[in-house]
Structure 1
Amino acid sequence: MTDRELLRLVAQGDVTAFREWYDRHSGPLFAYLLRLLRDAHLAEDVLSEAMLTVWTDARRYRGESSPRTWLYAIARNKATDRLRQRVVWPLEALDGQRVDGEAERVDTRVAVEEALKRLPPDQREVVELAFFHGFAYEEIARIVRCPLNTVKTRMFLAKQKLRAQLGDAGGRVGEAGG
């Protein structure tokens, strides 16, 4: 069943369809919120609020964007409201546990995480939405409520900064979005 079909059923009060919607989207949305908010408890709260909004307001979905884009925009708006209400402390780096044979991959991930943390928040957000969540630039523009060219500029600047920070490892930066 497609997201549009599920959302139509959710709008009609179908609890089973809502459970499927939740199961389908809660994991990736939580990951996005965690990266945005940098607090697991807060991300869980915002996830719950966003899903409650889907349940209560699904009938307001107009189809101007994909249901997934609509959901992420709701979640982003709720996260922004929460960020305005409090100071968020940065996440700790990885917990340091390494599995044999994966040390180099973990080092690369840590380098990328550190490089992302140094990006301005608006640039980091477009990179995360494109690379970690697979959104196209047009969808990102709807989620963050800015013109498409602004998203493209933010991505261009972010890629430049990431390449400069990551050196040779940054050569693959630029394979998502668009």
Structure 2
Amino acid sequence: MLPNDFVRLVDERGPALLLYARQWCHAPEDVVQGAFLKLVALRSPPRDVVAWLYRVVRNGAIDAGKADLRRQRRETATARPTRWFIEPALDGLDAEAAVAALRRLPVEEREVIVARLWGGLSFEQIAEAAGCSASTAFRRYSAGIDALRKELGVPCPNPSPNA
């Protein structure tokens, strides 16, 4: 195909191909451009260039529309907040209430509790991550656990003998 013929084809058929592709996808320009690039890459032009372009644009637009839907589903699933607890109830603990109570804790206490219980970090590791001493990390952990127990109505499993 000669360059002048190609330019004329793009000018004459491009707008209609865009409209045709738009019914299946949100980025018809990309699909039409891809079809013209495929046409240029062919060793010999198809018997009916216009019909070939419409077929390639149709297939490309349908594929692009499917890809858009898959991407939207992935983004929607990723945007959903993940639960901190997998089980809805664990040994009588209401996961929703526990998450809500954890969110109401001061950030410093919540950070230490999450790092200790779910991260498995030692108090020394937590201290390094939080920029405090290990004893401060332990105090924050203890205060946070006590606050959670009170809010959730869970008694301390090992009450101190002095209490």
Q: Same fold (TM over 0.5)?
A: no
TM-score by length of 1: 0.37
**Higher helix fraction (1 or 2):** 1
Larger radius of gyration between Structure 1 and Structure 2:
2
